[in-house]
Amino acid sequence: MSFPQAAAYPQSSQATTALVMGILGIVCCGPLAIVAWVMANKELEEIASGMRNPQNEGTAKAAKVIGVIGTVLLGIGLVFLILFISGAMILPFEDL
């Protein structure tokens, strides 16, 4: 019994890995969102060039969106952290 062979692509997909990194970037480790965004962009480029399976394009697009959202949240968090630290340096602790 033989099974039909799927079209062979030279490279395996990294879309699921990028999606998992994007989710982890939002949930617990912000810098992983940046990695997910970069990986998803590379995955989409490789899909467009025919090096990777186009069935994973939706997953790669979702990973890109989650990576962008996670990166924006990381940036907002860093801005608040900088404001908090600078405010703590400016305001005296004697009033507490």
Number of domains in the chain: 1
Q: Does 79 fall in a domain? A: yes
Supply the mean pLDDT for the chain.
Answer: 88
DSSP SS3 for 42 = helix
Q: What is the pLDDT of residues 35-77, one digit of tens each?
A: 999 999 999 999 999 899 999 999 999 999 999 999 999 999 9
Structure-token pair, residue 26: 């939002």
Q: pTM of the entire structure?
A: 0.81
Show the domain range for 79: 15-89
> Does 96 have pLDDT greater than 90?
no
The H or E element spanning position 60 is helix 57-90
One-letter amino acid identity for 45?
E
Helix axis angle for 15-27 and 57-90, nearest 10°, is 30
Q: Above pLDDT 90, what percent of the chain? A: 71
Task: Please compute the mean of the pLDDT values over residues 3-15 and round it to a whole number.
Answer: 73
Q: Does 8 fall in a domain? A: no
Q: Does 68 fall in a domain? A: yes
